[in-house]
Structures are given as C-alpha cells and as structure tokens.
Chains A and B, each alone.
Chain A
Amino acid sequence: MTALCFQLKGRPEQRLDLSPLVPARLDGLNRKEIEGLSVATTREAVTVGDVFKVKGRDVQNLHFIGTDNRCDKIGAGLTGGDIVVEGDAGMLLGARMKTGKIAVHGSAGVLAGASMTGGEIAVRRDAGDQAGGVAFGETFGMKGGFIAIGGDAGDLVGERLRRGLIVVGGNAGDYAGGRMIAGTILLQGGAGRYAGYGNRRGSLIFADKPRHLLPTYVDSGVMEFDYLRLLETWLRGQGLRIRLGGRARRLVGDMAVLGKGEMLILS
C-alpha cells in the first residue's frame, strides 16, 4: 500500500492546525472524509482538501510534501505510525506524541517535540526555540523519546526536560537545558549563554567546551564514562555516528537548585 500523501497546493492564507492528520484519527476514513477535515486556525474555514492534494492510502505511513512553516502541529499527539515531512514544519511538531516516528527533511518551528512522552523526531535542518520544551498547559517538557536535530537549535532546547534524549548537530541558542529536571542533551556544536541554567539532575554533553559556563557548576575533573560508550553504541544503532569516546570533564550543577545535574565536556 502506498503512503498517504498530503501535497501542499500553495502557501496557505493562515496557519494550519494539522493535528487531525495522524494515523489514529485517519484510520477508517475514506478520501472524501479526509479531505473534509478542518485544519483551520482562524474563523475562515479551511479543510484538508482546500490546501492539500491527497494521494495514497496507507494511513500508518503519512507523507507531507512541500509543507512550509505555517503547517503547525504535524504529528501532534501521535500514537503510532510513521510521518515523513518533505518540507518544513511549523510549530509544535510532534508535540505530546507518545510513540511513532517523524522525519522532517527541512526545518521545524518552535516547540518541536514539546512535552512528548515517547517516539522519535528527526529534523534534518534547524529547529526553532524550545525544542523538547514545554507544550502549552503542561508543567514538564519532553518526558521520553528521542529528538535528533541535524542543524541548529534555538533557545531553550530541552526546557524543563524530564526524560529522553535530544541531539543537536549544530549550535544551540541560549539557555540550552534551561530548568531541565533530568534527561540528556547532546550538543555537537556550540551553545549560547546560560547552558544548564537551573538544571536539577539532567546531563548536558558538549562535544566542545562551551564559551560561557555558569558559575554555579563545580568542576569534578576528567574521568572515563562507560555511560558515554553506551550512548555512542545506541546512537550508532539509530544510524547516528557520533564519536563520544569515553573520557570527559564533569561539571556538576546547577548548584543554585538541586545540583545533581552535570555537564560532560568531551576531551
């Protein structure tokens, strides 16, 4: 069965709420019923059929083609299945998702994977602010799963992260891991100011020493971490070849809060 494809006809007049376009919601609907679903975010009515050319049948395998940064909430609340976005995604990509996979060929807007509890999001290019952050109405950020960002991440990547792993291939903005509770953020590029601000027991892993270090982290020196080897092996299994090695400098903090978190700076 061919993937169910949604090809954007042109730049939409308004932001679109694409959260209805997930396998659990589309299962059992025929083409006409799918095209009749509302994706509007203003008082002006917009249905799937108005903005997308719909092809294919497999609701477990969705393709969004030619999408742009107005296409919000793609895969939000996802409970299974695969989504491929051949284009950009708007805000709240995969927010609150529980399981399943989302692959974005372009960039994602703010709050990608916000408050997700499981599953995988791979963004080939950049992600906006608060990737893995706190979705509206939630008290925690990401609570499980895996986000891989190939390019840069905005500010507050992993804000209030509770569990799960975020990998950033490029640079991260300010407040990376801001107020994180636990979980892991791996930053392969640089980071802005205040990384690890308010970190309780999470791990921030830096490929290179960040230019600005908060004074509320205490140096524990260099040692070997089998945990890094475990993480490197798992990442390789996910198709990400990132050399972590075993040695790292450990800074413990944020001592302004619980102080059981860490920054591991690879050496």
Chain B
Amino acid sequence: MPELKVKGVTIVETFAEAFPMVGTRVIITAPTAEWAMISARTMTGFATSVIACGAEGGIERILPKSETPDGRPGVAVLLFTMDVDKLQTQLRNRVGQCVLTSPGSACYAGLEGGKKLKLGASLRFFGDGWQMSKVIGGRRYWRIPVMGGEFVCEDKTGLTTKAVGGGNLLVVGKSHSAVLAACTRAVRAMADLPDVITPFPGGIVRSGSKVGSKYAGQIASTNHAYAPGLKWHPDSELPPNAEAVLEIVIDGLTADAIHDAMHAGIHAIAKGGARDGVTHITAGNYGGNLGPHHFHLKEIVG
C-alpha cells in the first residue's frame, strides 16, 4: 500500500481513539474583553485532563458584544467530564470560585437542550437571602449582591452527553522547534472552529500518557513508545531521526466537531511542515477496544 503523504509529511495509517464525555458551555461576560478573558482563563485553569484535574476545559472562542446576552464582551467556555455528577460539581466549583470572584463578571448558559446543569441555581445561596431572581424571556437569572455590585448568573445551563474527549494528533519531527511550530499552527487553526477545545497548555501536550504503569497506584505513565530518548527500546514507534513528539488533544461537543478540528489540524501541520522538519503525523489509540470513537487519519485527510 502506498504511503499517504501531505506536503511531504507522512500520515501514518492509524486512528485516534476517543471516548464519550459529557460537556457543557457557559458564556462569561465582563466590562472589558480583557476581563472576560481573565475570568475564562481562571475558570479553565488546571483543566487539562480528567486524570487529575477533575475536568477538561478551555476557551472555545471570544464573543463580540453583539453575541452576548448582556451586550458586553464575552468568552465561550467548554467544560467536559466523564459523567454528569462530576460535571455539575466542577461547574459549580469553577464558576463559583473563578467567575463569581472575577471583577464585573456575569455568567450565562451557552448550551440549550433537555437536560440541565445548575448554574445560578446553586450559586445563588452565596447571596445569603439577598439574591433576587429575574425571569427575562422565559429564562431565569439570579442577581447576587457582591462587593463589586451584582453578580448576574443564569439559573441553569444545558449539557450534552454526546460529547467526545481524547481526539488527538501526534506530531513527529526532526527537531523540537519544528514540531512545536507545527503544533502551534494547528492549535491556532482549531481555535477558529466551533464546539471544540484543546485543553492542554497552549493546546499542546508534551507528555502523552499510556494507561497504567509498572508502579502500583500510578494510573497513567509516560507514553514510552513515543519518547525519543527510548528509541532503543523494542516498543518504540519512532523512526531513527525523530527528535521530538508533541500531541494535540481535542475535546468536542460532537464527534463531527472533533473530525473537523483534526482535519484543520493536519493540514495546518503539513503546511510547510516537511521543509521545517516535521516527518510524521500519527495518533494515539489503545488498539480500538477501549473507546467507541475511531478517527482514522486517512479518512480525515481526504
């Protein structure tokens, strides 16, 4: 079978194996775009992986004044976990500690749908009896008196149980700088797309993991097959000239959104990639037995 290449970069015939997640979206607004972003970044800080963060979260996109419920600058945030109860806890804690506390912020539902998560419905108790409920256009909002004025928070937000987590691309190259530059391009390309986030720092993870470890109690450990310093080992999947591998992990509200993000990512990586030193684009999987979603790179490129 001929090797598939895009602009000189080899697309390995494999697939990204992804898992069902539950996800939600909230809209954070603030007096300025800068403060909306500070609030959103704080809420989605320490939300890279469900392995130890409790949730995976990120900034989906910046919203202009014309698209927010209160006409102020805003940011749309996505948050994912493995089940609804955890999502509820994470949402309450993160909005309560990071958005409620952020100067001038307000928080609104960003997703419709049948099932709902409590937002202001639980945070209202911070008002200690002085909170006020207001229904506008059939939607309930809470006004909670705080030192900065009032925190306005919608009562509930929607959730989806059709979310997908763990879509991924592994970028292999002849230098760390080439791989980093290519991944940065890919994350930028994905940032423009709706319904997806790349939860790791700057969208990129340098320490891809495998399930389990030689040590008892260590639930995840280094993906040694892709560590360039372990190329000597028979488990290694890397070509002899590989110097670095970086991964982009993608969480999305739908499988289609992940598919589109991987498509945009692959083409952004390949653009100038081979010349710069990117050699392969591959993906992480567990043999196909663990996750129901398989994103085959060959189909995505096409």
Contacts and interface: CB of A to CB of B under 8 A. Distances in A.
Interface of A: 118, 144, 146, 163-165, 182-184, 201, 203, 223-227, 229-234, 237-238, 260, 262
Contact of A234 (B136, B143, B149, B152): B136
Interface string B124-158: 00000000111111100101000001101000000
B134 A227 contact: yes
B133 A182 contact: yes
B135 A226 contact: no
Nearest to B71: A233
- Range of interface residues on B (Cβ < 8 Å): 20 to 34
A238 B136 CA distance: 11
12 contacts: A144-B138, A223-B150, A226-B72, A227-B152, A229-B70, A229-B71, A230-B141, A231-B136, A233-B70, A234-B136, A237-B137, A260-B132
Interface of B: 29, 68-72, 104, 106, 132-138, 141, 143, 149-150, 152
Contacts of A223: 149-150
Main secondary structure of the interface of A (DSSP, over half): mixed
A207 B31 CA distance: 23
Nearest to B68: A233
B71 A227 contact: no
Contact of B150 (A144, A182, A226, A237): A226
A227 B136 CA distance: 10
Shortest Cβ-Cβ A-B pairs, 7 listed? A229-B70, A230-B70, A233-B71, A226-B152, A226-B106, A224-B149, A234-B136
A227 B135 contact: no
A226 B106 CA distance: 8
A212 B269 CA distance: 69
Contacts of B135: 144, 163-164, 183
Contact of A225 (B69, B72, B136, B149): B149
A261 B206 CA distance: 55
A79 to B, nearest CB: 16
Contacts of A224: 149-150
Contacts of B138: 118, 144
Given A227-B143, A233-B70, 10 more contacts: A144-B135, A165-B136, A201-B132, A203-B134, A225-B143, A226-B149, A226-B152, A229-B72, A230-B136, A231-B136
B64 to A, nearest CB: 13
B71 A232 contact: yes
Nearest to A237: B137
Contacts of B152: 226-227, 230
